[in-house]
A = this chain, B = another copy of it.
Amino acid sequence: MEFEEDGIGEECGVFGCVAAGEWPTQLEVAQVLTLGLVALQHRGQESAGVVTSNGASPPTYTSHKGMGLVSSAFPAEALLKLRYGNLGICHTRYSTTGISELQNCQPFVVDTLHGKIAVAHNGELVNARALRKKVMRHGVGLSTCSDSELITQLLALTPPMEELDTPDWVARIKNLMSETPSSYSLLVMYKDVIYAVRDPYGNRPLCIGRVVPISKLHSAAAGEEDTEGWVVSSESCSFQSIGAKYYREVLPGEIVQISRHGVKSLSVVRRPEGDLPAFCIFEYVYFARPDSIFEGQMVYTVRQRCGRQLAIEAPTDADVVSTVPESATPAALGYAQQSGLPYMEVLCKNRYVGRTFIQPNTRLRQLGVAKKFGVLTDNFAGKRVVLIDDSIVRGNTISPIIKLLREAGATEVHIRVASPPIKFPCYMGINIPTKEELIANKPEFKDIAGYIGADSVEYLTVEGLVSAVQEGITSLKEDEMGSSNGCRGKVGHCTACLTGKYPVELEW
């Protein structure tokens, strides 16, 4: 691959669907699952997998997995194969730990004494190493390095299978949750139900949607009797594309059972006294699709607020405000609105530039990121530009862009970053470069503007970011968040990569 991405990577997206009512229904579950995956594709492009169940007793599970984007990994035959599913879960993966091979691809299905379970997982267990050892000490061989396989074996293993007459998967899930505090948003499919689980810190997102007739999609009149199915997803942006209404979030620590009869909250596992929730703040800043809703607010709006806050914290004497397309655009528009400076596009992205098999060591390599962006000279030649970026990780993307703008005639280029400097690694599901690679930890950071060639560089403060994020939440009425069950009321976010304060102890 030619381009080294200068970013941070999400680990995964999970999605599930259960057709409502008497099976089989009209709802084509395999199609819903696949389209749901496509809508979560920004969370992982390495591989994709779907497992469906016909929900019978014993159930027949059908699975399909493939490398690459959903569009190439799921040919027509795959959908044909999966078409008898009445419920199913799926997963799209961005490899962090583990090799890029089909066998690491989720969901993971195992046969147990009580039948098959399927597991899809977004997150990273902070104590995975210790848990692997525990499982292997019990005599289990692990065939992948996937946390999902580990979770699956933990579910099968404790308490011992033989002690139970019928399987109490909820007890097993609770047991699992007592073994590992974070981070996981989990879908466990067993026969005819899906258990949707979020870790007690709510570190990774998970929300529920209700599938209704397309004609009633945006109608307030769509009542319970109109429910065609239930979906559960890492992000609500996937609901739009399959024709579902946003229902509610799975709460931190909550175990929700989704069946053809509906959605039922089974239990909420509490955090230790005094611990705040710790939803990953970078979901707002960078990962999530702008039309997704977390904690009652739209991601786009939060990003706009970050831009406004940045304009207050770091005003600039300049002629135009612009964006590094496409992710920084809401913040740039917010900055423009707040500052009163005109918003202009200065770069245009070639969306076909991707993996090309160009050998390195050539003059073309020197071009770097310039291959990706066209310059809209007329919009900024002879002007002072404030360029908004969402984050700077290694600093090797922004630098050639600044050079490009200057050479095309910008008289000044000021960089304003709509998030604070990233200084610490993440052990909870995000693929951040090592501490040494992060520009914020390098000596050059003292003169970051000089280093990347900008006239000035300013970051949003941690306080500014947190307040921009939490401002929208406090304004939220309690009843919009789903049934109140004691674990709400407090607001908190994981800012570990910015502050080094991890929400749980890291047992490495």
Residues of A within 8 A of B (CB): 26-28, 31-32, 34-35, 38-39, 41-42, 69-71, 74-76, 78-79, 102-103, 108-113, 117, 132-133, 136-143, 145, 149, 152-153, 155-158, 160-162, 213-214, 217-219, 228, 237, 240-243, 289-292, 298, 300-301, 329-330, 333, 337, 342-345, 348, 350-359, 362-364, 366-367, 370-379, 407-408
Contact = CB atoms under 8 A, between A and B. Distances in A.
A505 to B, nearest CB: 24
Tallying the copies of this chain within the complex gives 4
Contacts of A71: 352, 354-356
Contacts of A34: 356, 358
Contacts of A357: 74-76, 78-79
A291 B156 contact: no
A-B pairs, top 9 by smallest CB distance, nearest first, are A110-B141, A218-B407, A291-B374, A139-B157, A76-B357, A41-B352, A141-B156, A241-B371, A214-B366
A330 B347 CA distance: 12
Nearest to A45: B352
A89 to B, nearest CB: 16
Contacts of A217: 407
Contact of A35 (B39, B354, B358): B358
13 contacts: A31-B358, A31-B359, A38-B350, A39-B350, A102-B102, A136-B156, A140-B157, A141-B156, A218-B407, A237-B374, A241-B350, A242-B371, A329-B345
Contacts of A289: 348, 350, 374
Contacts of A356: 34-35, 38, 70-71, 74
Nearest to A145: B111
Nearest to A330: B345
B376 A111 contact: no
B138 A112 contact: no
A130 B179 CA distance: 31
B348 A291 contact: yes
B362 A31 contact: yes
A289 to B, nearest CB: 6
A155 B70 CA distance: 37
Nearest to A69: B352
Contact of A153 (B27, B112, B140, B228): B140
A362 B483 CA distance: 33
Contacts of A28: 362-364
